[in-house]
Amino acid sequence: MNKNRFAKSVSLALVLFLANVMPELNPEQTSPPSTVQASKPTSSSRAQSERDSRSDVFAGLSYTEEQKAAIDKIHQETASRTDVVLKDNKLAADQKDAMLVGYSRMEFAFMYKVLTPEQQRQVRERIRARRVAEQKAQRKQLPSG
């Protein structure tokens, strides 16, 4: 019971943190944003799909050496946290999933902060374009009539 409550508290804290850091990426308004894929595969399909869906918004950006170093550090820290969660046998699958999704979102937020204002603008535009495309695809799937 306490473990479940802890996992829910951690997940809620992560969501609130990300909602304050990047309100334009509110999950109620958008699909999950995209990050560069971490080197370690996860057991969570939800966390993996979040990571995969984010990879396109950072693609094609030109990074400075400092940005590359900072992003590599972010990836390493996220990978080490992910490994700890994956190896923890005390957590249930849904708890692991929630933590991995949270780490993925934190990784995106930290990477976003490393970007220049122009790069951040490009990422926001890509997210908006993807959101519009997903909304159009959903409208096509709905039966008309």
Rounded to 10 degrees, the C-alpha dihedral 96/97/102/103 comes to 60
**Confidence (pLDDT) at 60:** 86
With a cut of 90, say whether residue 20 has pLDDT above it: no
**Confidence (pLDDT) at 59:** 85
What phi and psi, each to the nearest 5 degrees, are found at residue 62?
A: -95, 120
Report the predicted TM-score, pTM, of the whole model to 2 decimal places. Answer: 0.61
What phi and psi, each to the nearest 5 degrees, are found at residue 36?
A: -70, 140
Average pLDDT over residues 79-97: 94
> What confidence category does residue 32 fall into, taking pLDDT thresholds of 50, 70 and 90?
very low
**Confidence (pLDDT) at 7:** 60
Q: Is the dihedral of CA 48, 74, 9, 55 positive or negative?
A: negative
Residue 127, token pair as written in the block: 């997210």
pLDDT tens per residue across span 34-74: 444 444 444 456 666 666 666 678 888 999 999 999 999 99
pLDDT tens per residue across span 130-145: 999 999 999 888 776 5
Rounded to 10 degrees, the C-alpha dihedral 74/76/82/83 comes to -170
> What confidence category does residue 6 fall into, taking pLDDT thresholds of 50, 70 and 90?
low
